[in-house]
Amino acid sequence: MPKNAPESSSLVGAEYEVEIGPVAHGGHCIARTDEGRVLFVRHALPGERVVARVTEGDETSRFLRADAVTVLDASKDRIPAPCPYAAPGRCGGCDWQHAKPGAQRRLKGEVVAEQLHRLAGLTPEEAGWDGTVVPAEGDKLPAGEVPQWRTRVQYAVDAAGRAGLRRHRSHEVEPIDHCMIAAEGVSELGVEKREWPGMASVEAIAATGSQDRQVILTPRPGARLPLVELDKPVSVLRVEEKDGGVHRVHGRPFVRERADDRTYRVGNGGFWQVHPKAADTLVRAVMQGLLPRKGDTALDLYCGVGLFAGALADRVGDKGAVLGIESGKRAVEDARHNLQGFDRVRIEQGKVDQVLPRTGITEVDLIVLDPPRAGAGKQVVRHLAALGARRIAYVACDPAALARDLAYFRESGYKPRTLRAFDLFPMTHHVECVAILEPAGKGA
């Protein structure tokens, strides 16, 4: 029986002494109680013996969530978490601050391998992957040092107007005075130093390759915007209560990002890779995998502001052509602006599964897809496979979605040629992968 077991069916607060098993997708490890209950335990490492306190679940739950509150037998990979907020019941932003950097990457590699095996039936060798997760340039730091990589931080604001970050799987705010993984350009704004009365959240953005800084304010219902005076020049946008749209208060409504020797405009807090090295790292991996040729036709799906479309357009030349598809209206406007120098690039707005069939395209040479976390799905994968591309580059921020879609590609006649994994979210459980696919009948 657990210690401190509550009288009701809820097991929150109950404590179990357990042996920690393998890592699982989501920033936790798996353990079992003496009664056979499955625990998903945060703040633990494989092989440790810990006291785990339940944070979610009751007698009827299929599994329980828990935090390791006491480490009885520590892993050799454990270090003291550099951040004081990275502890049970506190900030939920980081998952692995208590693990050495090399161990974090091994854990992520184990998760990728497990997802490939379970959801796609692929070994690392069959996926063309060497099993490693590669750190971004400059991120290979000694244990105890934290890379300052997060160029976009969304601070939650508590009822007292203090900026902080949300606790794990909670709406509760952990007020902080400094986020260790925030990029220098975010930290220098000083968002945590001032109060934000009436605000629900404050997002801070520090562009890569320019000095552009931006904050996006989301007021609570009926609240007025405060006068924003931060430590550095910054443009201010607000999220409208009525329609959820983002509108300029003062300064530019966009930031200028830099990648692949091009400048990209990203408006209204639109999507851009968060790690300052991510965009260049991913473009390099995609282009090395696709090997575009002059005159190729290519698709860039879920294209955002045109990062991969621009890289493809540079490489396929004046006789090639690139079609980008993106659902976000502002992102499409930015993509068209960013790529206006290419006569043979077209950007269409809408969902990929709806727009692609309407284009009438029946064959292409190359495809890049960078879908949202849920993946592309069976319908889109089947359509892409029918286009007969020489190679397909799949950029994935979720190894589970990638593995599911790789299984759909296999059903449709495509196999992975190579797979690379990058640690573009240090201290968290997230990992970015780039898979290059080719027709299954083609020799290695």
Q: Which residues are catalytic?
A: 397
- Cα separation values, 438 from 296, 315, 353, 441, Å: 16, 20, 21, 8
Q: How far is CA 374 from the centre of its chain?
A: 11
**What distance in Å separates the CA atoms of residue 32 and residue 202, rounded to the nearest whole number?**
40
Strand ranges for 289-423 from DSSP E: 297-301, 321-326, 345-349, 366-369, 391-396, 414-423
In this structure, are residues 80 and 74 in contact, taking their beta carbons and an 8 Å threshold? no
From CA 322, how far away is CA 296, in angstroms rounded? 8
- Least Cα distance to 115 among 375, 443, 417 occurs for 375
**Distances from the Cα of 136 to the Cα of 159, 275, 301, 429, angstroms:** 37, 9, 25, 15
Q: What share of the chain is helix, strand, coil (3-state, %, to 5)?
A: 20, 30, 50
The C-alpha atoms of residue 238 and residue 225 are separated, in whole angstroms, by 8
Which segments of 355-413 are extended strands (E)? 366-369, 391-396
Is residue 148 a contact partner of residue 183, using CB atoms and an 8 Å limit?
Answer: yes
Contact 153/179 with Cβ under 8 angstroms? Answer: yes
CA distance 58 to 372: 32
CA atoms of 147 and 168, how far apart (whole Å):
21
The candidate with the shortest Cα–Cα distance to 438, out of 290, 262, 304, is 290
Assign residue 421 a region (left: φ > 0; alpha: ψ between -120 and 50; beta: otherwise): beta
